[in-house]
């Protein structure tokens, strides 16, 4: 197909439909409303289910139901709404149900505002819901990547029977860039889900539960989940490496801030000849710790740039394990930092 100019929100919706998603449930909230709007128009055209639910809680539990029935299902929201969905995320993990949850982050805590922020990193990567689970979190860095990563999110969800979160922010939701979509997937051609509750017929009974009162069985369930998380860490960790070959200082940033950091890095390399590079985590969980640890053999200074007061920086510090210095600069509350501002911070880091 041709390249078209599309916003991040519309792109996530179109990509989901193309990836075989046939059930979308959501409740409106800025800055992700265009996603639900697009689904309202297009989902039914292709024979899928679109419901604007009465609340975020209803939406995520509808996702649980649709996923249990074996359908590729999605919900989306922005920060305060994602908080309301956390119980559902924990249940999806306990049930081992595949689903995709999109969080187009805004300023917080509380109702916050409607401007872009990255304050939900902890919530996304550390759980948010209760229990010993992990959620794969994918942070796209462009509109094309939103399209590609939406496909990837559904694939990881199905392959490992886990909810997957697509984490972006209001800026990624609103900007428009050219996108070429992958081809439509016919849901009928996807691998059969032998565990899905599709009606017993003449088959063996199937049963999905997250209530496991027998502690020995619950422990085994936890270890089974753990093995799955180990496999996801081994197979699904993704990052982009940008000018790291000759770098004296390496920036670590994801999503919007990574894009702005690239602008700053280009400026510093071209105008001032500074050797600075970027590692852009594409998966936030699993975090690309190994590459950071490897790079820290030669690079002694890393700087985490975020639209928060400092959340991902903790993963950077854990990854470096004392091998290199970790610096931080952030703008919380819905302020979008500028390339020139980042250039200033990175320049200081190089020269200090």
CA distances in angstroms from 270 to 43, 129, 257, 262, 337, listed in the order given: 46, 45, 20, 12, 20
The yes or no reply on residue 265 touching another protein (CB under 8 A) is yes
Q: Where are the beta strands (DSSP E) in the chain?
A: 4-7, 23-26, 49-52, 73-77, 99-105, 137-138, 163-169, 176-179, 239-242, 249-252, 276-281, 283-285, 301-306, 325-330
The nearer residue to another protein, 123 or 142, going by C-beta atoms, is 142
Choices 117-125, 171-179, 227-235, 247-255; region in contact with another protein by CB under 8 A: 171-179
The yes or no reply on residue 36 touching another protein (CB under 8 A) is no
Taking CB under 8 A as the criterion, the residue among 49, 57, 114, 196 binding another protein is 114
**Count of beta carbons in the 10 Å neighbourhood of residue 206:** 13
The yes or no reply on residue 174 touching another protein (CB under 8 A) is yes
Choices 75-83, 175-183, 290-298, 300-308; region in contact with another protein by CB under 8 A: 175-183
Q: What is the rounded distance in angstroms from the CA atom of residue 205 to the CA atom of residue 233?
A: 33
Least separation in angstroms between CB 65 and another protein:
33
Q: Cα(first)–Cα(last) distance of the chain, in Å? A: 49
Least separation in angstroms between CB 332 and another protein:
16
Length of the chain: 352
Least separation in angstroms between CB 114 and another protein:
7
Choices 9-17, 40-48, 167-175, 284-292; region in contact with another protein by CB under 8 A: 167-175
The yes or no reply on residue 52 touching another protein (CB under 8 A) is no
Least separation in angstroms between CB 166 and another protein:
19
The nearer residue to another protein, 240 or 314, going by C-beta atoms, is 240
The nearer residue to another protein, 141 or 288, going by C-beta atoms, is 141
Residue 181 in 3-state DSSP? coil
Q: What is the rounded distance in angstroms from the CA atom of residue 326 to the CA atom of residue 105?
A: 25
The yes or no reply on residue 178 touching another protein (CB under 8 A) is yes
Can you say how many angstroms the Cα of residue 50 is from the centroid of all Cα atoms in its chain?
Answer: 22
Least separation in angstroms between CB 295 and another protein:
21
Number of residues near another protein (by CB under 8 A): 26
In the region spanning residues 333 to 352, those forming contacts with another protein, defined by CB under 8 A, are 336-341
Cβ atoms of 113 and 334 closer than 8 Å: yes
The nearer residue to another protein, 113 or 210, going by C-beta atoms, is 113
Q: What is the rounded distance in angstroms from the CA atom of residue 218 to the CA atom of residue 91?
A: 14
Q: What is the rounded distance in angstroms from the CA atom of residue 296 to the CA atom of residue 33?
A: 41
Least separation in angstroms between CB 12 and another protein:
17
To 10 degrees, what angle do helices 339-351 and 255-272 make? 60
Least separation in angstroms between CB 107 and another protein:
11
Taking CB under 8 A as the criterion, the residue among 12, 104, 115, 292 binding another protein is 115
Q: Given the structure tokens 């920036």, which residue do they identify?
A: 251
Least separation in angstroms between CB 47 and another protein:
26
Tokens read off for 277: 């590079």
The yes or no reply on residue 80 touching another protein (CB under 8 A) is no
What residue ranges bind another protein (CB under 8 A)?
Answer: 3, 5, 31, 114-115, 170-171, 174-178, 259-266, 336-341
């Amino acid at each position: 197909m041709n390249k078209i100019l599309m916003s991040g929100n519309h792109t996530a919706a179109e990509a989901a439909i193309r990836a075989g998603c046939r059930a979308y449930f959501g409740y409106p909230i800025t800055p992700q409303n265009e996603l639900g709007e697009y689904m309202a128009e297009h989902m039914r055209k292709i024979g899928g289910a679109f419901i604007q639910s009465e609340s975020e809680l209803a939406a995520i539990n509808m996702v649980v139901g649709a996923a249990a029935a074996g359908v590729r299902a999605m919900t989306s929201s922005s920060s305060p709404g994602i908080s309301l969905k956390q119980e559902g995320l924990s249940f999806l993990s306990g049930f081992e149900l595949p689903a995709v949850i999109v969080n187009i982050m805004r300023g917080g805590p509380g109702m916050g505002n409607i401007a872009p922020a990255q304050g939900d990193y902890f919530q996304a990567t550390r759980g948010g819901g209760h229990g010993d689970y992990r959620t794969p979190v994918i942070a796209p860095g462009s509109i094309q990547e939103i399209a590609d990563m939406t496909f990837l999110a559904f694939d990881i969800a199905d392959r490992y029977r886990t909810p997957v979160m697509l984490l972006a922010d209001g800026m990624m939701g609103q900007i428009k860039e050219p996108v070429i979509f992958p081809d439509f997937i016919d849901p009928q051609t996807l691998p059969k889900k032998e565990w899905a509750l599709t009606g017993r017929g003449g088959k063996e009974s199937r049963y999905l539960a997250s209530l496991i009162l027998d502690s020995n069985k619950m422990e085994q369930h936890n270890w089974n989940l753990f093995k799955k998380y180990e496999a996801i860490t081994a197979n699904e960790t993704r990052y982009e490496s940008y000018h790291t070959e000759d770098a004296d200082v390496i920036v670590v940033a994801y999503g919007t801030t990574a894009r702005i950091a690239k602008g700053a890095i280009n400026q510093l390399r071209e105008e001032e000849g500074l050797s600075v590079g970027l590692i852009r985590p594409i998966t936030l969980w699993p975090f690309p710790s190994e590459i950071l640890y490897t790079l820290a053999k030669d690079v002694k200074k890393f700087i985490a740039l975020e639209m928060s007061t400092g959340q991902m920086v903790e993963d950077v510090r854990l990854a470096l394990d004392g091998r290199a210095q970790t610096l931080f600069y952030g703008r919380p509350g819905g302020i979008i930092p500028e390339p020139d501002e980042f250039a200033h911070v990175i320049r200081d880091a190089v020269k200090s």
